Amino acid sequence: MATYLPTGWHGKRVAVLFNADGGFEGSLFNDSDGGVMVDIVEDQSARKLFIPWSSVQYVELLEQADERPHRQAVKKPPGA
């Protein structure tokens, strides 16, 4: 399976923006040619959400490995 996001992003906090429906923050679990899977924690329960690339505007990295306040964003892949 192809991956579009840098492998260093897996397990990090990300923000996922949808087309027009808003977005959310969570921990990046996985990404593939089909979309992204994010762990969401709410009220002491966790769930994984799969978001197809066709619904994603962009994915933004909210934390860096070195913990400096620097953000990066990746737009959805072309043709997705």
Which DSSP helix (H) or strand (E) runs through 27? strand 23-31
State the pTM of this model.
0.70
3-state secondary structure at position 9: helix
Give the pLDDT score at 27.
Answer: 93
Domain locations in the chain? 7-75
What tens digit of pLDDT does each residue of 4-61 get? 888 889 999 999 998 776 888 999 999 988 999 999 887 777 789 999 988 888 899 9
Is pLDDT above 70 for 67? Answer: no
CB atoms within 10 A of CB 50: 12
Fold of 7-75: SH3 type barrels. (2.30.30)
26's tokens: 């969570």
pLDDT above 80 (res 1): no
Band of residue 65 on the pLDDT scale cut at 50, 70, 90: low
